Amino acid sequence: MDRITGTGHTAVYFSRICADTPTKLRLCQPGEPGSVMSTYINIGEDRSVEWNIVPLNIYLYGVEDPRNRPIFASFKIKHALEERYRENYLSGYCDTPACQTSGKVEWREMVAATLIRGVYMFVVDTSIEQDRQLIAEFNNAPNENHFNGATNNCADFARRIVNTYFPHAASRDVLNDFGMTSPKAVARTFTHYALRHPKLNLRVMHFAQVPGTIKRSSDVRAGTEQLLRSKKLLIPMIVFANQALPVVAGSYVLTGRFNPEKEFEKHPATNLSSETLTFVPRLQTVALQNQRTQIVGTSAEWKNYRTAFAAEIQDNSDSPEVRDRSRFFKFLNEKGTAVIDANGAIRMQLYENGESTSVGASASNVLAPESNPQLSYELLLARTSTFLKSPKHRRETMLEFHQDWSNLQRASASATALSAGTNAPPELPHVTPIPGGGTP
């Protein structure tokens, strides 16, 4: 149904509630970043449960420490992260062959979500008393699967939890989703509620899909929006039900429009600070615009990076590393084997002409001494190119991109030193700061 409608998926993030087990809640200890709870039609564990809860960084990146987050996405890496999660967290919950080996079980969807989709988080303040009440309610209630796509889907589950904290804050959109509850309706109504209650301190985070060989995720849409924007649905509607088109268009334009990216630009919060996940504190009015600029970046700043990157590519167009960057992800996926160490750091092991080499595929090890400098440079070159070519709703935050650019400079210098006197790759320049923007 999701493939037809483009509704996407929704889950609930808690900053103070953590997973005691996948089906039991507890308050987080100091330093723990929280957790994500979600429901699916078939989580696939040995007992049919309604929901699972996983640590936040496991949900986003597949690893506990965000410093080890993947910077390259492939199904090889995704599967390796899933197996690591199963072995470390699902003992006693996923011991049958069906749960362990099936690709259709959806506990896998709760591991490294950013490898397969972009994620927006709409965050407000809650009290510890509210969190304790939710913990008691869910720990004492039977966790039994009653999933129903029409009346009890993932968006209904999220709506129920949100309304436990803030009654009537989230609701379905009967007109635009044809009676069902969609993720976009929950996000839209919850956002409108938070804006009407400024004390909740609404902020939005955006986690871009990790570049690689996995198909880019599509935009989340409401029902009427999908009818208007999808050619495979709009054309048959024009041919067979054109009298309904004005009604559909009017309903969407008047009541259904909601753009997560615009909400992120208005109320941004950062994803990374000192290599750990954190939130921007409540912003003071005077510093608000500057804070937004640092997180989102200005059009001029992104253009400045694209210009500098394009100039270097043009000046070094004869370099094989530069020329083949568009095919590097495919090469790395086909030739490499994903290997994960005990801490969750990923590397791709390659074997060619009887020789073995590896390249770090995590933020923590892509520039490590054991990572092949030439391959590290090519990987960071391809990653940077992807984000610079992406529309704004598919690229990472400016703070994250500053980090990527700095890593690319370091990789370029290492590769240049390695191949000195031969066909060396370029040293990328420091980009001139844009007024009002951040400095890499």
Q: What is the per-residue DSSP string for 94-154?
A: S-SHHHHH-SS-GGGGGS-GGGT--EEEEE----HHHHHHHHHHHHHS------BTTTBSH
pLDDT at 35: 97
Q: What would the DSSP string read from start to end of 346-399? A: EEEEEEETTEEEEEE-BTTTTTSTTS-HHHHHHHHHHHHHHHHHS-GGGS--HH
> What's 17's DSSP letter?
E
Task: Give me the pLDDT at residue 414, please.
Answer: 83
Instruction: Report whether 203 contacts 288 (CB < 8 A).
Output: no
How crowded is residue 51: how many other Cβ atoms within 10 Å of its Cβ? 20
- Can you tell me whether residue 263 is helix, strand or coil? helix
Give the burial string for 244-257 (b: 16+ CB within 10 Å, else e). Answer: eeeebeebbeeebe
Do the beta carbons of residue 283 and residue 291 sit within 8 Å?
yes
Distances (CA, A) of 63 to 36, 151, 166, 274, 390: 14, 33, 31, 17, 26
Q: Which residues pair with 122 in a beta bridge?
A: 204
Residue recorded with tokens 């208007």: 228
Distance CA 96, CA 380 (A): 40
Domain boundaries, given as residue ranges, for the chain:
2-222+258-277, 294-418
Please report the pLDDT score of residue 352 as a whole number: 75
Question: Model-level pTM?
Answer: 0.86
Q: How far separated are the first and last CA of the chain, in Å rounded? A: 43
Cβ atoms of residues 178 and 81 within 8 Å: no
Q: Quote the CA–CA distance of 421 and 432 in Å, as a whole number.
A: 29
Neighbours of 31 (CB within 10 A): 6
Q: What is the largest CA-CA distance in the chain?
A: 70
Q: What pLDDT, on the 0 to 100 scale, is given for residue 272?
A: 46
Instruction: Write out the chain's pLDDT in tens, 440 residues.
Output: 555 556 789 999 999 999 999 999 999 999 999 999 999 998 999 999 999 999 999 999 999 999 999 999 999 999 999 999 999 999 999 999 999 999 999 999 999 999 999 999 999 999 999 999 999 999 999 999 888 877 778 999 999 999 999 999 999 876 666 667 889 889 999 999 999 999 999 999 999 999 999 999 888 766 566 655 565 555 555 555 565 556 555 665 556 678 899 999 999 987 744 333 444 444 444 456 677 888 999 999 999 999 989 877 776 566 665 556 668 999 999 999 999 999 999 999 998 778 899 999 999 999 999 999 989 999 999 999 999 999 999 999 999 999 999 999 898 888 777 665 444 444 444 454 333 333 33
